[in-house]
Chains A and B, each alone.
Chain A
Amino acid sequence: MKKLGELLLTREPFSEIVMGNTALVRAMIEAGTRVVASYPGSPTPEIAAAIRSIPKEKRPFYFEFSTNEKVATELCYGAAVNGHLSTVFFKSVGLNVAADTFVQLGLMNIIGGMVVVLGDDPGVNSSQNEQDNRHYARLSYTPVLEPADPAEVYTFYKAAARLSQEKHMPVILRLTTHVCHAKQRVEFDRWSQEPPDNTPKFDPDNGPYIPIAKAVFPLKRRALQRLEEVRKWADESLLNRLTDNGNKSRGIITAGLPFLSLMESLREVCGEKPNILKLGVVHPIPKETIENFLADHQEVKILEELDDFLEKEIKSMAYDEGLDVRIIGKTDPEDWLEEYTPDKVYAVMQRTWPELLAPRSPDAKGKSEVSPRPAQLCPGCGHRSAFYAIKKALAETDITVADIGCHTLGFLPPYEMGQLLMCMGASPGMAAGLSLFNDSRRVVAFLGDSTFFHAGLPGIINSVFNRHNFTLILMENGTTAMTGHQPHAASGSNFNGPAEKIPVRQVLEGLGVRHIFEVDTYQQAKLTGMVKEAVETDGFSVVIARHPCMLKFMREQRKKPGYKSRQVDIDQEKCRRIQECIAEFGCPTFTQYPDGRIEVNPDLCIGDGSCIRTCPAEAIGIPHIAEEPVEG
């Protein structure tokens, strides 16, 4: 068996099949990165999983999950001005949280170098929007390198690290979901580990590091000047690649994953293929390279995912240079949406040059209908019991405010708990606003425990400080569940080992929250009663609805020797087919047969028993050890 942790530390050159996220970690090791930090978010958590595969004492760099992206960025900045090459990584919207710090980085003299790895999510696979983070690069005078596949993730990171170390400026490595998660064989170099230099090199004379009032201007001048230097560097860089198909009239400028989709689409070209300029440096764009490409063609299509970032830059460049070339950018609002998959790119290119590619007719419908499969809470999930119980405590007219996490799924049927959603930690603030001039509709907000520490606290403090009137349900499951069970401040451990818990209840008490209720969510009747009481209480109240994440719990149980799987059964004599278990409680374990019989799916049931008290006919039995021992 191949051991990832050992492979990543191989001294000699080697090649291996890896995900983009894993290739990145090898690149960090080879580049001599010393400090890495993150807050979990798709598509980046597997970067941390690859880091975890290396035993802590052998890890050539320090890694932590910080409380949020802003703190992670600040940590990496601090390490970098002390001389250490650092890297922060997080998902697309993480940059909004980190932004206040991030936008200053370009002004600073980052002597150790710092790479900011972003996991953008075109196609909204697992985010609340598909924001194009290249805009932040312009805002902050930061260069952006954009790889298309795992092999490029590896080489581009090393280039980004070197550039950052040379210019003492931050560099963004912009990944997208299917670049992070793509797998292929990648050739890795030798790793010659240099002995680490731990001298703290921070020196105010390398600054100024205090950007205030007029002191900002020299820093800004330097940032602009460095960006111009990078533009020249980009012109020389091997990261940009020209595919010359000998076409005198048509060219395409593209970058990142859309390039691969384009190559797939062009397999079907009738006639001459356009030439392709694939940019590896997407900010600042290489001036000469692009000017030459424009000058060599009569028509150039800018093929870019999400917004018209390159298009604006290239068109203004052509205007300044007075180039006589037709530049075709986005031509339809749909061009701004979704991931540029091979199908999407085919459609865009077909619309651009109709005779280049044959039109495709849309697929005919299938013969039979198949039910959609929305994501849902796992069997035994404490959030399910919570939503089931809380729904019973509320009136139709009450307003429920969701937040980000597994519990967001409460907005779906059958619970429909959560009518607005914004971003992490936004629920207390929104709920406070909804409670103003509002005596008739009670407001209930939900919040996860990782989010409590990440961005929830300011909204909670505000609710105490400004005496708002609503109920917050803190969905405490002990982990950052949605993104794969990363530890948080109340988990009892951090990435590197045991850490004292910061109990949420004590935090709330310390903040002066007067009305705190607390219950395990499997005690559904008690939770219903508490929520009824809490919403009737004047002022700000918090209900801590606690139950450990059962997916995590079951994974740990299954690994234990002698583990026996358990399940519940339905007593068919007692079952009156009320369907409370399916239609109201909604555990995916319950299966309905065409004759209306309801059975438990033994592949899914974990025997947690949270369903037992929901059955009005008392037809669900006590969990028992599954009859045929499951081989684990």
Chain B
Amino acid sequence: MEIFSIYLTGVGGQGIGLLSEVLLRAADHAGHQVKGVDTHGLAQRGGIVVSRIRFGKAVYSPLTGGRSADLGISLERHEALRSLQTAVKEGGTMIYYDAVWQPLGVRLGAGGCADEAIIEAEGKSREIRVIRVLNPAVKDPRMQNMALLGEIDRNNLLPEIETEHIKEAMTDLMEGEMLEKNLRLFSTGKP
């Protein structure tokens, strides 16, 4: 593996910062050279948040180009569809948590609405493997990121990164009850 690129998206407020930091540090613990960058923009105001992580041998820029990501990760379904169209490469994988935070246009009934079938079809049309995650046991929306991370790991979507590396990364970033709760959800899929 030369370089592996991850394109991570969500909506401001969904907790993509923590997910992205865990992935970045897990790649580092696994001994890869890694670079990452978050694009905040006006994200705190319900806009799109994008985080990019690239690891492998010689990584220069943390920025990925259009349709070049090996793995797309999204915490929201409309953003999953958008990533499929703009960021993930043919033959890549897209995993998303099926939360719905409707953009204004959808709320107004102006079209552009995403659902499971549309996302599936979009993936098929470009030979991208699509994995949908929804865990009804997770009640706290701010824990959806860890539920998704667990599925990313169980599906072995991160090459040359082991479960232990992800746990080490989580231990770098959290402690006490918070860490326990997140580790439990990550490892067992149960909150």
Chain A positions within 8 Å of B, measured between CB atoms, are: 1-2, 17, 42-43, 125-126, 149, 177-178, 181-185, 257, 260-261, 263-264, 341-343, 346, 363, 365-378, 406, 409, 413, 482, 484, 551, 582-583, 586, 588, 590-592, 594, 601, 603-604, 628-632
Which residues from chain A contact B28 at a C-beta distance below 8 Å? Answer: 17, 185
B61 touches A366 (CB 8 A): no
Least distance between A414 CB and chain B CB atoms (Å): 8
For A581, the closest partner residue in chain B by CB is B107
Cβ-defined contact, A263 with B106, below 8 A = no
The answer to whether A588 touches B46, judged by C-beta atoms less than 8 angstroms apart, is yes
Residues of A within 8 A of B91 (CB): none
Identify A263's interface contact among B38, B61, B78, B121, CB under 8 A. B61
Task: Spot the interface stretch: B138-146, B150-158, B159-167.
Answer: B138-146
Q: Is the CB of A588 within 8 A of B102?
A: yes
Check A591/B107 contact, CB under 8 A, given A182-B37, A368-B81, A368-B121.
yes
- Residue of A363, A367, A377, A628 near B45 (CB, 8 A) is A377
A368 touching B122, Cβ below 8 Å: yes
CB of B18 within 8 Å of the partner chain: no
Most chain A beta-carbon neighbours within 10 Å: one of B99, B103, B191: B103
- Report the Cα distance A83→B60, complex, angstroms: 39
Known: A1-B172, A149-B35, A261-B61. 12 other contacts (CB 8 A): A178-B37, A181-B39, A257-B61, A261-B63, A368-B121, A369-B112, A370-B114, A371-B111, A406-B45, A582-B108, A592-B108, A630-B140
Minimum CB distance partner of A587 in chain B = B107
B65 and A372 contact, CB distance less than 8 A: no
A-contacting residues, B97-156, CB 8 Å: 99-114, 118, 121-122, 125, 139-141, 143
Query: Are A126 and B112 touching (Cβ within 8 A)?
Result: no
Beta-carbon contact of B38 and A181 below 8 Å:
yes
A371 touches which of B34, B103, B181 (Cβ 8 Å): B103
Point out which of A370, A377, A586, A630 has the most chain B C-beta atoms below 10 A from its C-beta: A370
Closest residue of A by beta carbon distance from B63: A341
* Those 10 A-B pairs whose CB atoms lie nearest each other, nearest first: A371-B112, A366-B85, A375-B47, A375-B42, A371-B105, A603-B141, A1-B175, A260-B61, A263-B60, A375-B45
Contact between B66 and A376, CB atoms less than 8 A apart? no
Q: A363-B86, A373-B11 are in contact. Are A181 and B37 (CB under 8 A)?
A: yes
Chain A residues with CB under 8 A of B102? 588, 591-592, 601
Q: Which residue of B lies closest to A596 (CB)?
A: B109
Q: Which chain B residues lie closer than 8 Å to A260 at the CB level?
A: 60-61, 63
**How far is it, in angstroms, between the C-alpha of A342 and the C-alpha of B37 when the chains are bound?**
14
Per the bound structure, the CA–CA distance linking A475 and B106 in Å amounts to 29
**From residue A240, how far is it (CB to closest CB) to chain B in Å?**
18
A346–B41 Cα gap in the complex (Å)? 24
Which residue of chain B is the closest to A632 with respect to CB atoms?
B140
Is the Cβ of A125 less than 8 Å from the Cβ of B100? no
A551 to chain B, nearest CB (A): 7
Per-position binary interface string of chain B over residues 8-23, scored 1 when its CB falls under 8 Å from any chain A CB and 0 otherwise: 0001110000000100
- Kindly identify which residue among B100, B104, B171 contacts A376, using a CB–CB cutoff of 8 Å: B104
Please state if B65 and A590 are interface contacts (CB–CB under 8 Å).
no
Contact A363 B66 (CB under 8 A): yes
User: Given the interface contacts A1-B174, A370-B85, A377-B45, does A178 sit within 8 Å of B63 by beta carbon?
Assistant: yes
Pick from A42, A366, A371, A594: contact of B122, CB under 8 Å: A366
- How many angstroms between the C-alpha atoms of A376 and B41 in the bound complex? 12
**Which residue of B is nearest A2, CB measured?**
B172
Instruction: Determine the distance from Cα of A181 to Cα of B105 in the docked complex, in whole angstroms.
Output: 30
How far is A484 from B43 in the complex, measured between Cα atoms in Å? 11
Residue of A nearest to B79 (CB): A373
Q: Does B188 contact A (CB under 8 A)?
A: no
With both beta carbons as reference points, the residue of chain A lying nearest to B43 in the complex is identified as: A375
Q: Does B45 contact A409, Cβ atoms closer than 8 Å? A: yes
Residue among A183, A184, A482 with the highest chain B CB neighbour number at 10 A:
A183
On whether the beta carbons of B62 and A183 are closer than 8 Å, the reply is: yes
User: Bound state CA distance, A601 and B191, in angstroms?
Assistant: 21
Task: State the CA gap A291–B22 with chains docked (Å).
Answer: 46
Q: Which residues of chain A come closer than 8 Å to B143, judged between CB atoms?
A: 631
Q: How far is the CA of A42 from the CA of B45 in the complex (A)?
A: 14
A252 CA / B13 CA spacing, docked (Å)? 42
In the complex, are the beta carbons of A42 and B40 less than 8 A apart? yes
Q: Which residue of A lies closest to B144 (CB)?
A: A603
Contact A370 B112 (CB under 8 A): yes
Return chain A residues, CB-CB under 8 Å to B35.
Answer: 149, 182-184
17 example contacts (A-B, Cβ-Cβ < 8 A) are as follows A1-B172, A125-B41, A178-B39, A181-B38, A182-B35, A261-B63, A341-B63, A342-B65, A366-B84, A366-B122, A370-B81, A370-B112, A371-B104, A373-B104, A378-B44, A484-B44, A630-B140
CB of B36 within 8 Å of the partner chain: yes
- Complex Cα distance, B37 from A177, in Å, reads 10
Residue among B37, B44, B62, B99 making CB contact with A551, cutoff 8 Å = B44
The minimal Cβ–Cβ distance linking B56 to chain A, given in whole angstroms, is 12
Tell me, rounded to whole Å, the shortest Cβ–Cβ distance linking B102 to chain A.
5
Q: Which of A2, A178, A343, A413 contacts B104 (CB 8 A)?
A: A413
B41 touches A375 (CB 8 A): yes
Within 8 A of A (CB), among B48-92: 48, 60-67, 78-79, 81-82, 84-86
Report how far A586 CA is from B13 CA in the complex, Å: 18
Question: Hey, which chain A residues are within 8 Å of B111, CB to CB?
Answer: 369, 371
Question: Which one, B36, B38, B81, B85, contacts A184 given CB within 8 A?
Answer: B36
A377 to B106, CA, bound (A): 16
Cross-chain contact A371 with B110 (CB below 8 angstroms): yes
Residues of B within 8 A of A184 (CB): 34-36, 62
CB distance from A52 to the nearest CB of B (A): 16
Residues on A with C-beta less than 8 A from B30 are none
Q: How far is the CB of B22 from chain A (nearest CB, A)?
A: 11
* Complex Cα spacing A366 to B61, Å: 27
Are A591 and B37 in contact (CB-based, < 8 A)?
A: no
Q: How long is the Cα–Cα vector from A257 to B108 in the complex, in angstroms?
A: 40
Contact call B47/A371, Cβ cutoff below 8 A: no
A367 and B37 within 8 A (CB): no
Cβ contacts under 8 Å, A378 to chain B: 13, 44-46
Contacts of B106 in A (CB 8 A): 371, 592
Which residues of A are found within 8 Å of B101, using beta-carbon distances? 588, 601, 603-604
B65/A341 in contact, CB under 8 A = yes
Which chain A positions have C-beta within 8 A of B78? 370-371, 373
For the complex, is B183 an interface residue (Cβ under 8 Å from A)? Answer: no
Q: Tell me the bound Cα distance from A366 to B79 in angstroms.
A: 13
Pairwise interchain contact B46-A375, C-beta atoms closer than 8 A: yes
Query: What residues of chain A lie closer than 8 Å to B12, measured between beta carbons?
Result: 375
**Cα–Cα distance between A438 and B85 once the two chains are bound (Å):** 49
Are A2 and B173 touching (Cβ within 8 A)? yes
**Of all chain A residues, which has the CB nearest B14?**
A603
Bound CA span A126–B43, Å: 10
Q: How far is the CB of B54 from chain A (nearest CB, A)?
A: 9
* B24 at interface, CB cutoff 8 A: yes
Shortest Cβ distance from residue B57 to the other chain A in the assembled complex, whole angstroms: 11
Report Cα–Cα, A377/B45, bound state, in Å. Answer: 6
Contact of B107 with A590 in the complex, beta carbons under 8 Å: yes
The CA of A43 and the CA of B42, in the complex, are separated in Å by 11
